[in-house]
Amino acid sequence: MFLNSLLVSYQDYWKDKLPDGTSVKHYDYPDVWTSFAKDGLRSVFLWATLAIAAILLIVGFIVRMKKSEAFKAYLTVAISLAIGYAVTVIVTMFSVEIMDMVENELVYDLVLYPAIALGVVVIVGAAAIYLGTLYGGRAQKITFYASICGMAAALIALLACIGVFYARNIAEDGYYNSELASVDQVVLYVCAGLLIALVGALAVLLGLGDKKGFDSKSIAYAGVCIAMSFALSYVRLFKLPQGGSVTLASLLPLMIYSCMFGTRKGVFAGLIYGVLQAVQDPYIIHPAQFLLDYPIAFAAIGLAGAFCRVKSLDSLPQVQFALGAILASALRYLSHVLSGVFAFSAYAADAGMGAWVYSLAYNSFVFVDIAIAIAVGVVVFSSKTFVKEVRKRRPTEKKEPAPETGEDAAPQE
């Protein structure tokens, strides 16, 4: 029924002749089919995700109870299936999203295509870094620095394009900048800079003792967790009219990655995820607003592993996870709120509210989204086997033994 309706709404172009003799192409139901497909597929993937998760969990529980020696092999199969499903969701939904934007004339060349280019550079760069770790030595350093430079160049190019887009389309549009509202560019840049410094400092301080650098294992896990989060971000429970949505625990894989490999690597993975989110749902009007709503906001999610090394809470892994998730979501919320106040005050004016009140209320969806992730995460971290695997995969820097002194020191010749 769904497929038949979809095909009917997108049967083919029709041509209507205008009085001047020209023909105009259109669909049977203009501006309908992609929205219909997107909503229908999202519903399908929501229930499919729940069903697949339930099946994998039930089968895993049975295998664990009846044949524990086969559980590791089952995990490999289950993860492979999950990755394949995630790729299917990403490719399908991303394609429909792009078609929907094209059909509704929401594609802005100066924003979307540079954002896609940045996403491609990030993915290719991550793959190159992974291959470099397999060779080690000089090859690893060259691929790492070359990839980082490529990502930085693509990001700078995107910011420049967004700046041109703002100057051409937003600066004097009479809506975002008017008597009732304005885009405060200076404050936006200051807020973005301060939050970058704050998230970076917390990642370094909370990650003291973690192993420095990336190896093949940490990169592989990052790729899997980012892909899983990106796929789950399409499984939306509801979407807000001016950007933002509540999803089916889409940020949980990124949080688990931070608990596994530390806040430094977690913030980097969140940064990449934020860039991909900008490609998926580009609600962008200003360079600093882009930084606040995408890379910075989701890089903060990488701080979710902040309390996973607190020894006094080792007996309560659920609390370790929940505290880190709350810290991460609070910083994400702050980033979105600042963007709303200083970039989107026009929406507050439309609602007859102050910019701070409107932004604080509107962006509270973050707490609903994170509450779902925490609820699922607490259940996951209640498994002793899972907690053991997470802690086993969090390497630390090896410290050189301190030289012996005093009576224990070896006698000098």
Handedness of CA 96, 99, 103, 104 (dihedral sign): positive
pLDDT for residue 95:
79
Distance CA 261, CA 259 (A): 6
- DSSP string computed for 106-145: ---HHHHHHHHHHHHHHHHHHHHHHHHHHH-HHHHHHHHH
Residues 295 and 185 in one domain: yes
Residue with tokens 């301060």: 194
252-261 helix and 365-380 helix, angle to the nearest 10 degrees: 60
Instruction: Tell whether 405 is covered by a domain.
Output: no
Report in angstroms the alpha-carbon separations of 312 from 11, 115, 315, 320. Answer: 63, 43, 8, 10
Residues 327 and 181 in one domain: yes
Instruction: Tell whether 216 is covered by a domain.
Output: yes
Residues 85 and 196 in one domain: no
Asked if pLDDT for residue 5 goes beyond 60, the answer is: no
Contact at 8 Å (CB) between 258 and 202? Answer: no
pLDDT for residue 407:
47
Contact at 8 Å (CB) between 221 and 131? Answer: no
- pLDDT tens digit sequence for 291-331: 999 999 999 999 999 998 888 888 899 999 999 999 999 99
Residues 87 and 183 in one domain: no
Please, which pLDDT band fits residue 413 given cuts at 50, 70 and 90? very low
Residues 44 and 189 in one domain: no
pLDDT for residue 211:
72
Residues 214 and 347 in one domain: yes
Instruction: Tell whether 408 is covered by a domain.
Output: no
Burial category of 381 from C-beta neighbours within 10 Å (exposed 0-12, middle 13-18, buried 19 and up)? buried
- pLDDT tens digit sequence for 179-220: 888 889 999 999 999 999 999 999 999 888 777 777 778 888
**Short-list 329, 318, 327, CA closest to 379:** 318
Please, which pLDDT band fits residue 337 given cuts at 50, 70 and 90? very high
Q: Please tell me the pTM assigned to this model.
A: 0.81
- pLDDT tens digit sequence for 224-248: 899 899 888 888 888 888 788 888 8
- The CATH number of residue 229's host domain is 1.10.1760.20
Asked if pLDDT for residue 108 goes beyond 70, the answer is: no
Please, which pLDDT band fits residue 109 given cuts at 50, 70 and 90? low
**Short-list 365, 375, 83, CA closest to 231:** 83
Within 13 Å, how many C-alpha atoms sit on residue 233's CB side? 25
- pLDDT tens digit sequence for 153-168: 988 998 898 888 888 8
Instruction: Tell whether 232 is covered by a domain.
Output: yes
Instruction: Tell whether 389 is covered by a domain.
Output: yes
For residues 99-114, average pLDDT? 68
Residues 75 and 179 in one domain: no
Residue finishing a domain among 94, 109, 138: 94
- Give me the domain span that covers residue 56: 1-94
CA angle 113, 35, 237 (to 5 degrees): 95
Residue finishing a domain among 94, 115, 131: 94
- pLDDT tens digit sequence for 356-369: 999 999 999 999 99
Residues 186 and 84 in one domain: no
Residues 217 and 356 in one domain: yes
Contact at 8 Å (CB) between 141 and 128? Answer: no
The percent of residues in the chain predicted with pLDDT above 90, rounded, is 29
Instruction: Tell whether 411 is covered by a domain.
Output: no
**Tokens for 267?**
């913030």
Distance CA 229, CA 218 (A): 16
Within 13 Å, how many C-alpha atoms sit on residue 187's CB side? 12
Counted domains in the chain: 2
Instruction: Tell whether 287 is covered by a domain.
Output: yes
Residues 87 and 191 in one domain: no
Residues 365 and 241 in one domain: yes
Distance CA 44, CA 22 (A): 41
**Short-list 234, 290, 244, 298, CA closest to 270:** 298
pLDDT for residue 23:
59
Instruction: Tell whether 119 is covered by a domain.
Output: no
Contact at 8 Å (CB) between 132 and 225? Answer: no
Residue finishing a domain among 94, 128, 143: 94
For residues 385-403, average pLDDT? 67
